[in-house]
Amino acid sequence: MVMSRSESHQRQKEKRSRRMRRLIVVNLVMLAILCILAVLYAIQRQDGGGNLDAGRNGNQPPAGNEAGADGSHDPPAAGADSDAGSEAAQQDANGTTASNGAAAGSDDGPAASGSAGGGAVGDGAGGAPTNASSGSDNSASGQETGGADGPADSGAAGGLAAPGAATTGSGSGEAALGDRVVNLSFTGDILLAASVEKLLLKNGYDYPYAKVQQYLQLSDVTAANLETPVTLRGTPAENKQYVYKSSPDALPALVDSGVDVVSLANNHTLDQGEEGLLDTIDYLNKAKLPYIGAGINDTEAFKPVIKEADGIKIAYIGLTRVVPVTSWKADKNHPGLAESYDPTRAVAAIKKAKAEADVVVVMVHWGTELQDMPNADQTRLGHAYIDAGADLVVGSHPHILEGFESYKGKWIAYSLGNFIFSGMPDKRTADTGVLDAQCDAAGKCALTFHPMRAVQSQPAPLEGEEAEALLKRLSGISIRAAVDAQGQVHSKE
């Protein structure tokens, strides 16, 4: 049969249509198969791949040692006093004394008369402040919830425990921790002013944390002593050789580094007067960085910050026994510091915090600069804090590392030294570290110290013989305690 031209064209059109339908069906089938394979792959990866988040679970290995061998800091300022008992020995390349014309001298000279609790204010050595305030970024109940990813794994490079990991019940006679624990970390003094500020402006505000950030971020809560007011205003304190002021631009990097709480109870928080302290409080609140040890009155200064992780509440209290003048002390009528020359007020705050939290941490500014061993006041106060209910006491101010003490099953870390600070002539001030405390709901803690050294205000982990030497020195100056080659602290009670 002979088809007409129109019929032939119609049949060709139908064939093309059928081919197009078949092609669409094939493509849809292939797309469906690809989708099914993608879903199966995702399920298999989720089931078998383990936890891929290296955020705060302690599985990230520590950074290698990039610190310089000499541990040197900034060059000394002209005319720097090398007296070991004075903060005037600090190599402050920024020349902080020139800004206000303050007379040179010890940073913590005798205070005005009338200090509470008897005894003059000041220890003959400049101290670093810690601030306690109820104006922190907490809820109305004073509690702030933090994440908890469980205990970190061990196995860090150089034979040391991984960041955020602490031994659980190691050492003869030491009971094991409970099933639920929180991982807490602590550093020594952080200064973001003077010569450190010059380095920040040159290298970026995240410069100081570049080699240790993982140690600060892997714990549930990291706390540090902030050794400077944060303000663009203020009246410089008189009769102090070293008067600090830090820009609020430095705070976001501090928060991003992993620091969750700062103490303001120290001898620099009011370097720019009450105006500087109030600005500091405002800037910390804006940065959502809780603080302890200072406040708009004494009630706020002694009030704890309460964090929560894995159902365990941790209360942080900031105190200082280094107050340059009595007017720096907080009372019901004006801002200031939570002082602890007489421990009565501190003991009451600790007892109250213990009723509200499972673990009570006291961060205290005390002691004598550049002394390896705690003085009698440190020992007396540390024991009083623990007798009142503190589970862990962490000190600052001496600018060098002091040892640990085991007391009634609790721990005192007398000084964590400088962490981020201007250079000082004594090379021991460059030795630093991060202290990890793994604490259970009953308040029992196991400690691990990660040895570090700061070069140009940038701490970095130590390894090998340098790490072993620093840990051995710490062990030798500890009281009823020893530090092993992995940085774990053991009781000898």
pLDDT confidence band for 176 (50 / 70 / 90): confident
Q: Report how many domains make up the chain.
A: 1
In a domain, 51, yes or no: no
Question: What is the tens place of the pLDDT at every residue in 1-34?
Answer: 444 444 544 555 566 667 677 778 777 888 888 8
Buried b (16+ CB within 10 A) or exposed e, 158-168: bebbbbbbbbb
pLDDT (tens digit per residue) in 294-335: 999 999 999 999 999 999 999 999 999 999 999 999 999 999
For residue 21, tell me if it sits in a domain. Answer: no
Q: Is 25 helix (H, G, I), strand (E, B) or coil?
A: helix
- Is residue 327 included in any domain, yes or no? yes
Cα–Cα distance for residue pair 218/163, rounded to 1 Å: 7
The reply to whether 225 falls in a domain is yes
Q: Average pLDDT in the 116-135 region?
A: 35
Ranges 7-21, 139-153, 381-395, 412-426: which has the least confidence: 139-153
In 3D, which of 262, 240, 253, 257 has the Cα closest to residue 129? Answer: 262
Decide: helix, strand or coil at residue 89.
Answer: helix
CATH of the domain at 177: 3.60.21.10
365-381 pLDDT, tens digit per residue, is: 999 999 999 999 999 99
Domain span at 180:
87-491
pTM of full prediction above 0.75 = no
- Which of 39-43, 77-81, 100-104, 423-427 has the largest mean confidence? 423-427
Is residue 132 situated within a structural domain?
Answer: yes
Least reliable range by pLDDT among 123-127, 261-265, 268-272, 479-483: 123-127
pLDDT grade for 124, boundaries at 50, 70 and 90: very low
Q: What per-residue confidence (pLDDT) applies to 174? A: 65
> Is 167 a member of any domain?
yes
Say yes or no to pLDDT of 282 above 50. yes
Instruction: Report if residue 365 sits inside a domain.
Output: yes
- Give me the sign of the Cα torsion angle 27, 28, 30, 34: positive
How many C-beta atoms lie closer than 10 Å to residue 180's C-beta?
17
- Asked whether residue 5 is domain-assigned, the answer is no
